Amino acid sequence: MPGELLLLVLLVACFVALVLAAKLPVSLSLVITAAALSLAAGKGLPLAKLVEGMFGYLDVCLVLLSAMVFMKVIQANGLMSELTRRIILVFGRSPLLLLVALTLIVMFPGAITGSCAASVLGAGVLVYPVLTQMGMPRTVAGAIIAMAADFGMIAPPVNIPVMIIGGGIDLPYIGFGLVLALVTIPLAILTTLIIGYRHVRKDSLKEIIEANRKSQEVGGFLLYLPLLVVLVLMIGPKAFPRWFPDPRLPLTFLIGSALALFAGKKFRVITEARAAVNQILPVVGILFGVGVLIEVMTYTGLRGAIVIGALSLPHSLLIAGIAVILPIFGGISVYGGASVLGVPFALALLGQNPIVVIAGLSLIAAMGSYMPPRGPDARGHRPDHLRAPLRTNHPALSDSGDPHHPRRRPHARLRQSPGEASGSLIPVSVIYQILVILAALVVLAELLSEKSVKFKLQAALVLIPLVLRALKIA
């Protein structure tokens, strides 16, 4: 155990030094930390393990890329601004209902992409002027947007910390929707009302309504068609699983993006797609970097030692650790905290309802977004991610022996990607391959056009698994 403790100290010290002192991106810091951990454990530099770790969240990364493209497209064609305008006209006479509606608008991009930055940059820029015009100080308006964005990251249908923790304990991403909605939407609304309601000037609402009524309408029903189709394709398979085929989330967002080309304002789809990838690339890179780190932690035995240590903690210390350590670690990396700490905590609480436990852990981990050194502001925030199989001598946690264990089946490694319901009626292999190729091409374009060396390295990290999967090498 002392050896594993030294490795854990080395891991944390190396990662913190790279992020805070060397100012490297979190994704690159995770990969370098993984390599240092392997060398320190006497395992050399196992390139096969490093590459294998990148594929743990490839499906989730495709969801993030396609969702961000969809958000950029509906922002460019005027749907988001028109939706905000309509909400102001409908609910503007009631400060309470207007604040509730604006909170949900800010949460929406984060809910479908799993990214705070999508909420802040996609909807926050539209809602912020409305909040200030209602009489709120700029700091209060920024705090409301930041909080709503953070809750949006945890809200269904896409919750990446839950996917990370679930991936570590072989729990598919199924059945979390209602629980996540119950723990995020009420809290987001209450937070907005507590922080901002007292600052609202009712006389200013009339001016806001009148200004929005005079503004030109972008389009009619056709403008809302992409969003409606996406909602139907997301809800249909869950509401009617027997007869409604599941197109999976990447294809759902691709269909919505294609429909948006024919509605609203004209825009250059290539430009918006590249802007979307540029914005979400740090998050995707963190996912791949976390996958590498967890693969190496498993390979060296450190992950199993952490799990056994967590299981042996007294219940009071375990709860205190969840409440204190998880948000503190989230100050460096929310997704890193979800994997390194969230998985052991979830395993230690296996006697409870796992869906409720993991949903709660993801919410606590997300509060790390407001911890130094990486606390967000109203301009946005960039998150992080993790995963890999668990190897330990503990009989209850070991994956050895049983050939039918999910970890022994290659295609079960990806668990259930968001939107991937069992029994889907649509064959997706060809579409999946096309999506991978398109993603690889856009990432390559960004890699070649950007001048920042750090960004190029992040793009290269993302490009490697995409190219390998496009070539069907892995």
Residue 171 in domain: no
Q: Directed axis angle between helix 138-154 and helix 354-366, to 10°?
A: 150
The three-state secondary structure class of 377 is strand
Nearest Cα to Cα of residue 348 among 311, 323, 320: 311
Residue 107: the pLDDT is 94
Domain that holds residue 26: 2-59+275-317+381-470
Q: Mean per-residue pLDDT for 81-89? A: 90
Residue 61: the pLDDT is 87
CB 148 within 8 A of CB 107: yes
- Report H helices in 349-404: 354-366
Give the count of domains, the chain: 1
3-state helix, strand, coil in the chain (%, to 5): 70, 0, 30
Residue 54 in domain: yes
Residue 138 in domain: no
Alpha carbon separation from 34 to 56, 386, 464 (Å, rounded): 15, 12, 17
Is the dihedral angle over the CA atoms 236, 239, 245, 247 positive or is it negative? positive
Residue 119: the pLDDT is 87
**pLDDT score of 371 more than 80:** no
Nearest Cα to Cα of residue 288 among 22, 36, 104, 64: 64
Q: Phi, psi at residue 380, to the nearest 5°?
A: 140, 180
Residue 204: the pLDDT is 85
Q: What pTM was computed for the model? A: 0.80
Residue 301 in domain: yes
* Total residues found in the chain within this entry: 474
Continuous segment of H or E residues that includes residue 27: helix 26-40
CB 359 within 8 A of CB 160: no
**pLDDT score of 384 more than 50:** no
Residue 410 in domain: yes
Residue 459 in domain: yes
Residue 429 in domain: yes
CB 334 within 8 A of CB 368: yes
**pLDDT score of 77 more than 70:** yes
Task: At 134, list the tokens.
Answer: 């209602």
Residue 213 in domain: no
Is the dihedral angle over the CA atoms 226, 228, 229, 231 positive or is it negative? positive
Contacts of 364 (CB under 8 A, 6+ apart): 322, 323, 326, 327
- Taking the C-alpha atoms of residue 432 and residue 150, their distance in angstroms, rounded to an integer, is 30
Nearest Cα to Cα of residue 283 among 120, 459, 111, 433: 459
- Report H helices in 114-176: 116-119, 125-133, 138-154, 160-168
Tens of pLDDT, residue by residue over 399-442, are 333 333 333 333 333 334 433 444 444 455 777 888 889 999 99
Least confident of 135-139, 141-145, 342-346, 418-422: 418-422
Nearest Cα to Cα of residue 200 among 105, 302, 132: 132
**Average pLDDT score over the chain:** 81
- Taking the C-alpha atoms of residue 124 and residue 150, their distance in angstroms, rounded to an integer, is 12
What is the amino acid identity at position 31? V
- DSSP string computed for 175-221: S-HHHHHHHHHHHHHHHHHHHHGGG--HHHHHHHHHHHHHSPP--SH
Q: Mean per-residue pLDDT for 30-34? A: 91
